[in-house]
Structure formats: structure tokens, C-alpha cells
């Protein structure tokens, strides 16, 4: 315990402050400081892809964390592009965009039940999913295929199905990103995005899935680092009392756990600092503070110290920490109950991905195919998750090129007398990618284009295949349809 802790009252404050934090760490085993702080009341951990090598090792890690305290063990397992369990190989489940285009809520429930069972077997108690954003901005750099779609009613019914699927496995759902990240054109990892919507529009669009998830009993809701002037003024929602206490708690009547999005994102740290943002988020109504992989042990101690100090100078009532602790205790009690882990829905991910694939134009008759994958820079939310056709096209030549480094004449020469397949991901967001594809199609209009992001930019007059995501399951389903 930190040196500044003195008497029993201060020890109690320390535990209350530490209990609001979900910390992260590097590696597949918990460092000593994390285990020590769990003994001192630390709220729990958030795991990332670098913490996961295989399910058995993750289960061992979870067991070691539980032996040290009573942690909330959380991660982002959305299926699709955002995966932690399958970070090194790609998810066996398609993401929300694919499930939304199929629009079968029972399928969505089944996929999320399978995800929940996978997590339960590994000792994870809370999944920071599903994404309930209504993705109305085509150029959204952080949501995209993570959303079920752009229609509020569709997103709402699939959000409910996802919540029920996860929680039927005994894993708490955390619906995100409140009050909505789907209309943004900036990445909150880098800056504060703007949602320029009236309160009326928020209620008609962004809030519809959250209201439905609350009615369905979601155990947690995650905040967004977005500025909604009509609601939050100049503040991001994560530190806005109007958003978290007034709207979420008051108007929508939510009494579950509110979790901040990662506080080490620049939308918070650049303007408020890590510790300052933590105090402001708790004061606004958050119960658990998610901390990404950037904060170190000294940073965590500074955050705890600042929270304790804030209770003494009027910035943060002790009652707010006690309220947060009570909500988190309820979450722990629920997730600590008996679980009925299913044997596993073998193939449900691939089944869903197959149903999501959409082919426009005649199916190609392939001859010695050359597959050109036009690389896309990874987003911070997704990370370096593998994507593409390489695992599934053993009979084809697969070439990965960058938009800036693509040698179009050489590629065309290599494709002479062969079928040409051009694979992109979110080409609508990258002019350089579109230029490469257009140059290839100008010489080879018989080529097939595969879009593994959102199918917004569609070259005319060519065979076009949309997967609605770049998960491993999406690639396999597309390869089967192409017959390679």
C-alpha cells in the first residue's frame, strides 16, 4: 500500500479509490504490483491481445488474479475486427456489421452466447461489448464494421440480442459508447470527436440502442470520449455530469455499472491529464475507470492518490465512491454466480459469416488466381490483428501491397492470363487504396473486388464481394464463395 496511507479511515479511502480502477499490464502473467494492489482493493484489470497467448494460459492468468483479490476481469471481445482472444490469428466470429446485414437476432444471440462461453472458460467476467453505436458517418475512423448498422431500430434489436447472449453465459455485457460514437469523424484515441446532434436527434437515433439495452438488463455501460454540445457543452461525455448522471442515470433510469472508456486516450489526457480525468469521470458518474496499456504502476499510484485527495478538497464526495463500490459489488456478485458453460457452438461464427457475404455480379470462374491485398493501416481500437485471404487460399498466389508502394504495371504483368482478385478494407476511407484498385480495374475490368470493410465505395461494372468485416471467419466465407 502507498506510503501516504495512514489511519484506518485513509486505508478505507484508499480501497474505495483503488476499487474504481481497471488497470492493464504487459505480458501473459500478472506483475507483482498488480497482485499486491488487488489485495489492497484494486477494482480489476482490462486485458489486451498482448496478454493472451492461448485460452489455457488466459485461464491460468485469470485464476492468479482471483487468488489475489476479487477483480473484475474484462476485455474487448466484440468478434469481428476487435478481438482479444484471437488477437494473433483473427476472430472465428464475424463482427456486428456482418450480423446486422443478416438481421437475424437469434443468430446474433447465438454468436454472442458462443463468445460468452469462450470468455467464461477463460475466467473473464465482463466483456466490453457489444458496440451499440449507430454508425451514420461513413468516414467514421473508429466504429465502422464494429456497429450493427446505421439504422437505430436495427442496432437496438441486435444490441439486445448480443447482451442476452453474453449474459446467458454468465459474462457481463458492457454496452458502448454512450451516448453514441457513430456520428463522429474523429478518433477519440487521438482527439475529442464531435457529435453535432440536437437532443431530439440523440433520442431518435443514438440513444435508442442504449435505452433498449438498459431495458434488457445490461450489467454495464461504457462512456464515450465524445463532445455533444447540446448535451455536454464543451466536455467529453466521459466527464460530463449532464450525460452520465442527468441523462443516463436520471432520464434513462440506469442503475448498473458505468465504465469509462480508456482514460489514457488523448481525448482525456491532453486536456485533463490522467489523474485529473479520473477524478472528473468519477464525479460525473462513472463507477469503474478503464485504463489502457499506457499507465504504469507509478501512474496508477498517482491516480489513486489524486482520487483520495479529491475527497478531501470537495471535488469528489466520499459518497460517490461508496456508491460506485456498491454497484461494482453487485456486478461481482452476479458474475460470481453459477455459470452454465455450453459445450460450444461449433461453426456458428462461420455460419454467420457465410450468411453475411454479398456477391454482386457473376461468380468468377477462376484460373490460377492472383490475389492482391491492398493493405490498410490498423486502427488503435483494432490493433495488429491479421486479416486477409492467406490462410484460406492455398491454391492461389496472395500478394500484400501498400497503396503507396503498389507497382501496378508489375502486378498486371504477373496477373496476365490469370484471374485477378483485388482485396481492400474500407476503401472508401483511403483515396490511395481506391487509386490502386481503379488502376488495376482500368486494365483488368474482369477482376473481382473483395471489400472486407464497409461496402461503401463500389466500382461499377465489376464482380464485387462484400464480407462486412475482416475477421478470419469472414475471409473463410469469402474464399469458399470464390471457390479458391
User: Contact at 8 Å (CB) between 220 and 331?
Assistant: yes
- Cell for 123? 475466467
Is there a catalytic annotation at residue 158?
Answer: no
| 181 flagged as catalytic | no
CA R_g for the chain:
23
Give Cα separations from 177 to 6, 136, 155, 221 (angstroms).
38, 14, 13, 8
Give first-to-last CA distance, the chain, whole Å. Answer: 59
Cell of 15: 480501497
**Which cell numbers in the block locate residue 47?**
486485458
* 131, 133, 261, 264: the active-site residue: 261
Catalytic, out of 177, 181, 189, 225: 189
Q: Would you please indicate which residues are annotated as catalytic (active-site) residues?
A: 189, 261
Amino acid at each position: 500500500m502507498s506510503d501516504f496511507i495512514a489511519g484506518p479511515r485513509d486505508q478505507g479511502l484508499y480501497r474505495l479509490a483503488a476499487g474504481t480502477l481497471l488497470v492493464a499490464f504487459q505480458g501473459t502473467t500478472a506483475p507483482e504490483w498488480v497482485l499486491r494492489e488487488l489485495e489492497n482493493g484494486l477494482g480489476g484489470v482490462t486485458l489486451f491481445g498482448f496478454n493472451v497467448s492461448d485460452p489455457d494460459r488466459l485461464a491460468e492468468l485469470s485464476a492468479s488474479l482471483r487468488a489475489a483479490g476479487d477483480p473484475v476481469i474484462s476485455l474487448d471481445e466484440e468478434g469481428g475486427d476487435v478481438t482479444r482472444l484471437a488477437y494473433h490469428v483473427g476472430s472465428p466470429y464475424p463482427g456486428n456489421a456482418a450480423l446486422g446485414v443478416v438481421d437475424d437476432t437469434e443468430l446474433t444471440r447465438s454468436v454472442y452466447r458462443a463468445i460468452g462461453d469462450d470468455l467464461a472458460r477463460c475466467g473473464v467476467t465482463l466483456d466490453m461489448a457489444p458496440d451499440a453505436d449507430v454508425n451514420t458517418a461513413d468516414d467514421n475512423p473508429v466504429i465502422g464494421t464494429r456497429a450493427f448498422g446505421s439504422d437505430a431500430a436495427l442496432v437496438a434489436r441486435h444490441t439486445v440480442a448480443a447482451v442476452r447472449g453474453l449474459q446467458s453465459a454468465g459474462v457481463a455485457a458492457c454496452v458502448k459508447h454512450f451516448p453514441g460514437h457513430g456520428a463522429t469523424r474523429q478518433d477519440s484515441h487521438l482527439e475529442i470527436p464531435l457529435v453535432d446532434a440536437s437532443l431530439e436527434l440523440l433520442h431518435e437515433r443514438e440513444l435508442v440502442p442504449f435505452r433498449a439495452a438498459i431495458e434488457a438488463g445490461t450489467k454495464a455501460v461504457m462512456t464515450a470520449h465524445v463532445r455533444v454540445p447540446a448535451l455536454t457543452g464543451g466536455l467529453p461525455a466521459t466527464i460530463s455530469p449532464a450525460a452520465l448522471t442527468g441523462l443516463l442515470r436520471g432520464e434513462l433510469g440506469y442503475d448498473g455499472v458505468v465504465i469509462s472508456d480508456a482514460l489514457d486516450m488523448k481525448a482525456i489526457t491532453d486536456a485533463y491529464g490522467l489523474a485529473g480525468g479520473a477524478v472528473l469521470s468519477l464525479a460525473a458518474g462513472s463507477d469503474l475507470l478503464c485504463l489502457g496499456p499506457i499507465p504504469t504502476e507509478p501512474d496508477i499510484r498517482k491516480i489513486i492518490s489524486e482520487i483520495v485527495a479529491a475527497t478531501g478538497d470537495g471535488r469528489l464526495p466520499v459518497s460517490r465512491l461508496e456508491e460506485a463500490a456498491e454497484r461494482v459489488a453487485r456486478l461481482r456478485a452476479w458474475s460470481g454466480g453459477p455459470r452454465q458453460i455450453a459445450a460450444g457452438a461449433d461453426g456458428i461464427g462461420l455460419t454467420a459469416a457465410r450468411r453475411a457475404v454479398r456477391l454482386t455480379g457473376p461468380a468468377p470462374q477462376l484460373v490460377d488466381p492472383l490475389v492482391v491485398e491492398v493493405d490498410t493501416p490498423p486502427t488503435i481500437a483494432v490493433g495488429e490483428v491479421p486479416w486477409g485471404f492467406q490462410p484460406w487460399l492455398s491454391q492461389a498466389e496472395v500478394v500484400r501491397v501498400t497503396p503507396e508502394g503498389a507497382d501496378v504495371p508489375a502486378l498486371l504483368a504477373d496477373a496476365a492470363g490469370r484471374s485477378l482478385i483485388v482485396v481492400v478494407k474500407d476503401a472508401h476511407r483511403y483515396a490511395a487504396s481506391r487509386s490502386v484498385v481503379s488502376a488495376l480495374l482500368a486494365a483488368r475490368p474482369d477482376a473481382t473486388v473483395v471489400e472486407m470493410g464497409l461496402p461503401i465505395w463500389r466500382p461499377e461494372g465489376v464482380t464485387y464481394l462484400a464480407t462486412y468485416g475482416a475477421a478470419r471467419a469472414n475471409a473463410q466465407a469469402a474464399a469458399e464463395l470464390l471457390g479458391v
